[in-house]
Structure 1
Amino acid sequence: MPPLDGAITGIRAGSPAFRRVSLALFAAGFATFSLLYHVQPLLPLLADTFRVAPAEAALALSLATGFLSVAMLLAGALADVYGRRPVMVASLTLSALLTLATAIVPSWHGLLAARALLGITLAGLPAVAMAYLGEEMDPGALDPAMGLYIAGSALGGMAGRLVMGVVVDFLPWQVATAGIGAAGLLAALAVWRYLPPSAGFTRRPARPRAMLSALLVPLGQGRLRLLFLQGFLLMGAFVTIYNYIGFRLLAPPFDLPQSLIGLIFAAYLLGMGSSAWVGRLVARHGRGPVMAAGVLIMAAGVALTATSLLPLVVAGIGLLTFGFFGAHSIASGWVGALAPVTGKAQASSLYLFSYYMGSSLVGAGGGVIWAAMGWTGLALVVGGLLCLSLLLIRILSRAG
């Protein structure tokens, strides 16, 4: 790998290049999550407006994440051919334009089609961003840089949800959606302007058979397979709670207005702090113990959401968010550290395939559980997923 900023092994923390990378990918993470998740606080409103059940309303999110997860399997291969930065810029630009288009789509099925297409176009950003960091950063800078990228994701997820959740009580949701799309275009400009060109990889010609073989390489490592499953469990548990908490808070005994429910997404600020903080904890205690602590914090948060006291429910959402972003940041960095040099983009694609498939499948299936078993049943199922996550961490730690 050629020297960057005077470093032998990559971009070092605190260097000018590190600051440029951090700014660009913080903006990219912000845009990715706001473009993807700004519909989440709208789910009760969509269910009421289009007269669909909660599980069907959740398709506005689940279709996007489902198509995103599949498209990401190809995103790494495209980035190998066309380069990391061009794919990331194109991904953000097209996704922002599609979000602007959803502001004028009049029908439910048209909205779902636009969201599905957004899942495809957005795929070029998350997997490639992780691969870029894995290739370009000095090993000592990888976890802090990944934490800042995840922090941008947390802020974007919060801003998209918070803006939509509050503004729709005062303005049409289409206006807020257009604002989210415009922010995505600005983020694409930031990535184009500030992200240094890749220096840690060589472009490869488009050979479908070679692309498939490269995608299978990370699956040959047992620890990477466990991390892929970990992404499925973490994201599935997290999104399921957020998808349906709005329905619960709209109903008795809470009976909250939509604008107050939207404010609960301010908990994403805790996610930002968590993801930026865990990099330092990992350096002292190791990935396994810190990740297990994050999952236990998530489980405590889920338990609190099952109470009937609003302050405890809000505290539970905060704990869930803090624990999730810390655990996800560690898992993402762990994938980058374990992936083979020639398969970092593919390993990132497979991790995020599992991650977003958890959002799509578990997130949509949670609506069926919510309808049949209520919030207690939903919390118990999510708790079971987190117990399995803890078991995987134990296995990962034992494997060295």
Structure 2
Amino acid sequence: MSLIRHGTPLFRKTSFAFFAAGFNTFAILYSTQPLLPVFSEEFKVSPAISSLSLSITTIILAISLIIFGSLSEVWGRKPVMSISMVASSVLCILAAFSPDFTTLLVFRTLLGITLAGLPAIAMAYLGEEMDARSLGVAMGLYISGNAIGGVFGRVFSGIVADWLNWQFAMAAIGVLGLISAIIFTLNLRSSEQFGSEAMHAGTLVSSMVSHLKDPGLRYLFGIGFIIMAGNVAIFNYMGYALTEPPYNLSQALVSWLFIVMIIGMYSSIWAGRRVEKFGRQKMLLISLLISFTGLLISLEGSLFSKVLALTLYAFGFFASQTVATSWVSARALQHKSQASSLYLFLYYVGSSIGGTLGGFFWSGFGWIGVAGMIAVFLMIGFWCARGLAKVERYRVAEVEAASAKENKHFGKS
């Protein structure tokens, strides 16, 4: 039972498989985001109701992440991921034939369940099967697949919906998903380092409670919630703003704005490298400040300012996400995968709440209302970062005190 090493044919096949998997999952998940104005017009629903086509998927995905992570301990890694990808692709195709908005929401709810099968397990598989020195490269390729899939799903669906219709766009993404699922299944070897275990609900619950008792992790979970809530809201309702006067942009042009999220591939690396130099707290504050700057610029009326605002906000969002996720792993001393699952749970809950709540602010107050809501989220983020710094200083002081006590004891001996 050998580990997978960088530079080998098996590494290339595995990385290709997970790139395809990330592409599949995030293209399907975010394919409806640029279509919200289209759904509002075609189904005669408000922006807040239209946003449920994304929000309901992410909230169900959040809940399902914890379930699938536990199921994979019993059923194995590859079977759950493969079934998840095929089922998600088929549901995406079926959703394209929805005769009304309620039916569309039913399919998007089911997608929230099936899509969770991949992100809940992918990191566990890579962590088990990859050689430690090769893990960083493999994880980077997987996350690149996530980013490119998310951008592709948004841009492609918006452009095709403008040229043809949203049904064709969604069906095409589902077909591409099936192709990705086939690539994944054919290229990924079955787990060799994994042994199935019986589920013990008591252990699962006790470890979860211990994570929630940690004030530092609670602050980090809160940061995950607020950064995703703000990110989804700004991209959801900027689409509405730019298709209305004075901009009157077509759906295809608005969809191209999602390409700015590619900057996340750079800002994640940028933040990760600077954490070692400046520390997590400073980089988290800088990243949140960059997003806040982008939000302020969005209040200026020109189209250039709107594009610049989205670019800066996305840069800060991905940088914040990088710092926070690495901090969760460092903060959780045991059951790290469960701590990550809890972070992702709050992260996607934030997506659902921010995405839908923003619709009410848009309908009531326009863009100034949406921006005000996001500003409140970011202020909570600054508060969480400050609280987290205090908790970290307290932990360092405890460790130093314990070390001094131990040294004093040995000195007497």
Q: TM-score, normalised by structure 1?
A: 0.89
1:350 aligns with 2:342: yes
2:328 is aligned with 1:335: yes
Residue by residue over 1:6-54, the C-alpha shift from the partner in whole angstroms, topping out at 9 and shown as x without a partner, is xxxxx6x777666555433332222221111100111001001011111
Q: Distance in 1 between matches of 2:321 and 2:311?
A: 15
Structure 2 residue 19 is the aligned partner of structure 1 residue 26: yes
Q: Which residue of the partner structure matches residue 322 of structure 1?
A: 315
Q: Is 1:249 the counterpart of 2:248 in the alignment?
A: no
Deviation by residue 1:191-219 (Cα, 9 ceiling, x = unmatched) = 33444554665421134444434444433
2:329·2:340 contact (CA, 8 Å) conserved in 1?
Answer: yes
Tell me the equivalent position of 2:354. Answer: 362
**Superposition map of 1:1-400 within 5 A:** 4-5=3-4, 19-135=12-128, 145-195=138-188, 197-198=190-191, 202-340=195-333, 343-398=335-390, 399=392
SS in structure 2 opposite 1:168?
A: helix
From the superposition, tell whether residues 100 and 352 of structure 1 become closer, same or farther in structure 2 (CA, over 3 Å).
Answer: same
**C-alpha distance in 1 between matches for 2:60 and 2:165:** 27
Preserved CA contact (<8 Å) 2:260 2:311: yes
| CA displacement at 1:120 relative to structure 2 | 0.9
Tell me if the contact between 1:235 and 1:358 (Cα under 8 Å) persists in the aligned partners.
Answer: yes
- TM-score after normalising by structure 2: 0.86
Q: What is the alpha-carbon distance in structure 1 between the residues aligned to residue 320 and residue 13 of structure 2? A: 25
Q: In 2, are the aligned partners of 1:72 and 1:353 still within 8 Å (CA)?
A: yes
Counterpart code for 1:91? S
Q: Tell me how large the CA RMSD over aligned residues is.
A: 2.6
Report the identity percentage. Answer: 43
Task: Give the conservation status (yes or no) of the 8 Å contact 2:267–2:315.
Answer: yes
CA distance 1:56–1:354, change in 2 (3 Å): same
* Paired amino acid for 2:69: G
Instruction: Please list every run of 5 or more consecutive structure 1 residues that lacks an aligned counterpart in the other structure.
Output: 6-10
Is the contact made by 2:3 and 2:131 (CA closer than 8 Å) also made in structure 1? Answer: no
Paired with 1:90 and 1:132, the residues of 2 have a C-alpha distance of 15
Please report how far the alpha carbon of residue 313 of structure 1 lies from its aligned counterpart in structure 2 after TM superposition: 0.4
Distance, in Å, in 1 between the alignment partners of 2:297 and 2:380 is 20
CA distance in 1, matches of 2:381, 2:250: 34
Question: For residue 306 of structure 1, what is the amino acid of its counterpart?
Answer: L
Q: Is the 8 A contact 1:35 1:96 kept in 2?
A: yes
On the 8 A contact 2:98/2:104 being kept in 1, the answer is: yes
Point out where structure 2 has 5 or more consecutive residues left out of the alignment. 397-413
Q: Residue by residue, what CA displacement relative to the aligned partner does 1:218-254 show, whole Å, maximum 9, x if unpaired?
A: 3343333222221111110100111111111111121
1:241-272 C-alpha deviation (Å, 9 max, x unpaired): 11111111111121111111111111122122
Q: Residues 54, 300 of structure 1: CA spacing in aligned structure 2 closer, same or farther, 3 A cutoff?
A: same
